[in-house]
A and B are shown apart, each in its own frame.
Chain A
């Protein structure tokens, strides 16, 4: 089944404890992206990647890192999480980075930082 898989789905952590949210897609998509969803703010882009070894900042990149060493994987790294990073995170992918291309989303990762 074609899908985007995120792990973990739920995580509670404490301020400053580094964590990684993994994202993997099995559709051979070139484009991958991370979003955070907060009440009243919709989906805001954190980072995106047009292809392997190519990553760029989205609208809210502060406090996050990403890497794209392989086409299928695009992990989101929080080096020193803070409470304002408590949010619902989505990974998404598409064939290319064209805005007209349809994104396939993962099921989401709900992160709570205490």
Chain B
């Protein structure tokens, strides 16, 4: 089945640094979602994007729906230890939701 290309695969950063990750697809999507999975838990929705070019923030998190509708970006500003986890992008065109391969984030104090 189709999967999204998500990068980077993993990141090791120091507390206070900003983080950027992205997701690209060969297909056009109408919706982009970003989920976070805390260790030992299921993924939880962070941000939902429904329109090309849309820029949405949720606290220190900002996500953008790419103009081409084939990509999306997630930025985390001033990282803190609780940002640790796996971040998944997900895109949908019709009824099919496709997940990215995940970005594992480690934050060191």
Assess whether B95 is in contact with A90, with CB atoms less than 8 Å apart.
no
The interface residues of chain A lying within 8 Å CB-to-CB of B97 are: 99, 103
Answer whether residue B1 sits at the interface, using C-beta atoms and an 8 A cutoff. yes
Q: Chain A residues near B94 (CB, 8 Å)? A: 99
B1-57 at interface with A (beta carbon < 8 Å):
1, 3-4, 6, 9, 30-31, 33, 40-45, 48, 50
**Count of inter-chain pairs, beta carbons less than 8 A:** 61
Sorting the interface of chain A by its residue count into under 10, 10 to 19, 20 to 34 or 35 or more gives 20 to 34
- Whether B100 and A105, one on each chain, are in contact in the complex, defined by CB atoms closer than 8 angstroms, is no
B-side contacts of A108, CB under 8 Å = 40-42
Contact among B41, B42, B95, B99 for A42, CB-based, below 8 A: B99
B95-A98 in contact (CB<8A): yes
User: Are B31's CB and A42's CB within 8 A?
Assistant: no
Q: Does B60 contact A (CB under 8 A)?
A: no
Q: A99, B31: Cβ atoms under 8 Å?
A: yes
CB-CB under 8 A for A105 and B43, given A60-B1, A99-B97: yes
User: Are B3 and A42 in contact (CB-based, < 8 A)?
Assistant: yes
Interface residues of A (CB under 8 A from B): 4, 35, 40-45, 58-60, 90, 92, 97-100, 102-103, 105-108
